[in-house]
Amino acid sequence: MAAGPDEVDYFVREIEKNDGCTLKVKQCYLGDVGCVVWDAAIVLAKYLETKQFYDPSSGVNVWAGRSVVELGAGTGVVGLMAATLGALVTVTDLEDLQTLLMVNIRENQALISGGSVTAKVLKWGEDVSDFQPPPHYVLMADCIYYEQSIVPLVESLKLLSGPETCIICCYEQRTEGINPKVEMQFFELLQQNFNCEEIPSDKQDPEFSSPDIRILHIRRKV
C-alpha cells in the first residue's frame, strides 16, 4: 500500500510509559525546530508520571480531570503524556505545526481513556480568551531560545495563568551563542510577576533526567 501524504517525511520516536504502553510520536526529518522531539520534552513528559503526580498503587493522580495547556507543543509529546494520565489537554503551537499535532493525536488516541487532547493555534502574546478559565497547569518544554519571542512568551504566561495555575517549564541550558543571554532575559522578565522553584533531580524520572535539563515550577506572585 502506498504511503499517505502524512506518512512521507516522518519518523517515529517511541516513549515508553511506566505502565508499559508506548507513546509513538512522529517528527519531521526536515523543517524548523517545532518538528522534532527535543530531549527536554521527553524529560518533562516522564516527569509528569513521577510518583508525586501519578502513583496508581497509592491512588494518587494529580492529572485526572485537570485542565492543561501546552505552549510551543511542537510534536505534542508532553501534552499527549498528560492526556494519557487523565488530563484535559489543549496542545498549542503555530498554524504550520497543526497537521503534525493532529497526526500525533490520532496515532495515540487509543492510549487516552480518561483524559482528552485537542490542538489549537496560539501565537504567543495574542488573545487567549479561547483558553479561559485559566488552566490548572501550563506545560512548556524548550520554549526559551528565540530572543524575539521572550516578551510575547511571558505575556502569554501572564494572560493564561490564574492564581492557582502551576506552569511547569523544562528547558535545556545551552551555553553557546546567544542562548545564555536569552535565558537571562526570560527569567528577569518572568520574575517581575512570577516565582520560580527549581525541581531537584531526585524528584525527576531517574532514567530520563540530565544535569543540563532543568525543570521549574512557576507560579504567579500573590
Closest CA to 53 of 137, 161, 170: 137
pTM: 0.91
17-38 burial: b if 16+ Cβ within 10 Å, else e: beeeeebebbbbeeeeebbbbb
Domain-wise residue ranges, the chain: 10-220
Quick one: cell of 76?
A: 505534542
Number of Cβ within 10 Å of residue 138's Cβ equals: 23
Q: 10-220: which CATH number, 3.40.50.2000, 3.30.70.990, 3.40.50.150, 3.20.20.140? A: 3.40.50.150
| pLDDT tens profile 8-24 | 467 888 999 999 999 99
Amino acid letter at 92? Answer: T
pLDDT digit string, tens, across residues 85-100 = 999 999 999 998 899 9
